[in-house]
Amino acid sequence: MRDDERYSRQRDIVPPERIMTCRATVVGVGAIGRQVALQLAAMGIPWLQLVDFDVVETSNLASQGYLEDDLGKLKVDATAMQCKRINSHIEVVSVPQRLRRSMEIGNTVFVCVDTIDIRRLIWEAVRDQVGFFCDGRMSAEILRVLTACDAPSRSHYPATLFRTEEAFVGPCTAKTTIYCANIAAGMMIAQFTKHLRHLPTEPDIQLNLLASELNVADACL
């Protein structure tokens, strides 16, 4: 299979010379993270690292897109296998544990975890190591995508890591649907492709699917 044919329809949107320099780490391969990983694999990211300690449960089949054959498997292994089936030419690394400060990561990080506390720990661990950082959040049909890849957006992101007592009770993925996860993942990848093309990215996007409302916040706010 020739690469020039494989990626011909995305060439003007996903610059091949830029994506080939990217090493992507996806932290959390649940609802949003799995979809992010599959999209990155299809796009031809050369090195993809998946970080998650969890295993596939029955409730993950409808909400996260896992297969029945995946039940009981580590999410990173099940997702890595699917990524390789999509694109056998990329390297996929499975890390079945929590992200640690000492861990080697890519220069591009997608955070798709359940709680603000974990997001705060991840940001503190990787903020000085990555050129592109994107955090996807979902509560029922309300989606939020935060991107930090320049000085203003890097200053804005910590302000979104509110105190635990200000958060909703329970993980943000307590109410999850596969269509919301796919939309959130697509929004994250869209910010990534803008970054690849040296276009301005949006530091803070909120989409309420139920109310059909889109809000794009300025990093200075």
Domain ranges of the chain: 3-217
Reported pTM: 0.93
pLDDT at 1: 62
Strand order in the sheet with 108-111: 91-95, 47-51, 23-27, 108-111, 132-139, 142-148, 204-208, 213-217
pLDDT reported for residue 4? 78
pLDDT tens digits for range 95-134: 999 999 899 999 999 999 999 999 999 999 999 999 999 9
pLDDT value at residue 220: 58
Residues 38-72 have pLDDT tens digits of 999 999 999 999 999 999 999 999 999 999 999 99
pLDDT value, residue 162: 78
Length of the chain, in residues: 221
Tokens of residue 62, six digits: 């409808």
Q: Give the whole-angstrom CA distance, residue 146 versus residue 160.
A: 9
Give CA–CA dist 68/61, Å, rounded.
7
- Express each pLDDT in 130-171 by its tens digit: 999 999 999 999 999 999 999 999 999 999 997 655 555 544
In sequence order, which residues have a C-beta less than 8 Å from that of residue 215 and are 6 or more positions away?
205, 206, 207
Cα 130 to chain centroid distance, Å, stands at 14
Residue 20 pLDDT more than 60? Answer: yes
Assigned token pair, 99: 């992200």
Q: Could you give the CA distance from residue 2 to residue 146 in angstroms, rounded to a whole number?
A: 35
**What is the percentage of the chain residues whose pLDDT exceeds 70?**
92
Give the architecture-level CATH label for domain 3-217: 3-Layer(aba) Sandwich (3.40)
Q: Coil, strand, or helix at residue 46?
A: coil
Amino acid, single-letter form, for residue 113: V
- Distances in Å between the Cα of 140 and the Cα atoms of 63, 98, 117, 205 are 11, 25, 20, 16
pLDDT recorded at residue 173: 52
